């Protein structure tokens, strides 16, 4: 598989085939794409029960670095040289918290199950508990 181009999550979700009537859709995404809300809303409009799992890397959720760094875009975009200080990490944490809260609030206001998952989670433990809390799977 080769990664290239822009992700159009909104357009892709609008094209999800829905066999007449109610259904279940689970979206697993980092939700970094503009317009994802429109695509999710289109699923609700088509009477789908939607759950959203926002997946992020452990390094995105709790970066553990400092000093001079070169950030590489994993999707082929330009690199960026940055200087990371304690203040910059604090500000990153604040912006990340707001970013995550906006996405969770969008889902909760619409009755959409939402869970934040880390790509570093183990399936049998933490990830399964998150899926139960988000309403994606039933717990015991």
Supply the pLDDT for residue 38: 94
Residue, of 19 and 38, whose pLDDT is higher: 38
Q: Domains along the chain?
A: 9-62+103-133 (3.40.50)
> Each residue of 72-125: pLDDT tens digit?
887 777 898 988 899 989 999 999 999 999 999 999 999 999 989 888 877 677
How many angstroms separate the CA atoms of 6 and 3, rounded? 9
Angle between helical axes of 86-109 and 36-45 (0-180°, round to 10)? 20
How many angstroms separate the CA atoms of 114 and 127, rounded? 13
> Each residue of 28-64: pLDDT tens digit?
899 998 889 999 999 999 999 999 999 999 999 999 8
Supply the pLDDT for residue 95: 97
Best CA proximity match to 28, nearest among 119, 108, 93, 122: 119
Q: How far is CA 2 from CA 45, 56, 113, 139, in A?
A: 33, 20, 31, 37
């Amino acid at each position: 598989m080769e990664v290239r181009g822009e992700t159009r999550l909104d357009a892709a979700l609008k094209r999800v085939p829905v066999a007449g009537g109610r259904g279940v859709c689970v979206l697993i995404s980092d939700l970094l794409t503009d317009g994802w809300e429109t695509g999710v809303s289109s699923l609700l409009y088509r009477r789908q029960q939607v759950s959203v799992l926002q997946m992020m890397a452990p390094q995105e959720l709790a970066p553990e670095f400092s000093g001079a760094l070169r950030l590489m875009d994993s999707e082929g975009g330009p690199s960026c040289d940055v200087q990371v200080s304690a203040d910059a990490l604090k500000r990153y944490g604040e912006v990340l918290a707001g970013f995550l809260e906006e996405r969770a609030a969008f889902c909760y206001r619409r009755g959409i199950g939402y869970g934040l998952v880390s790509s570093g989670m183990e399936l049998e433990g933490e990830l399964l508990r998150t899926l139960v809390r988000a309403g994606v799977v039933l717990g015991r």
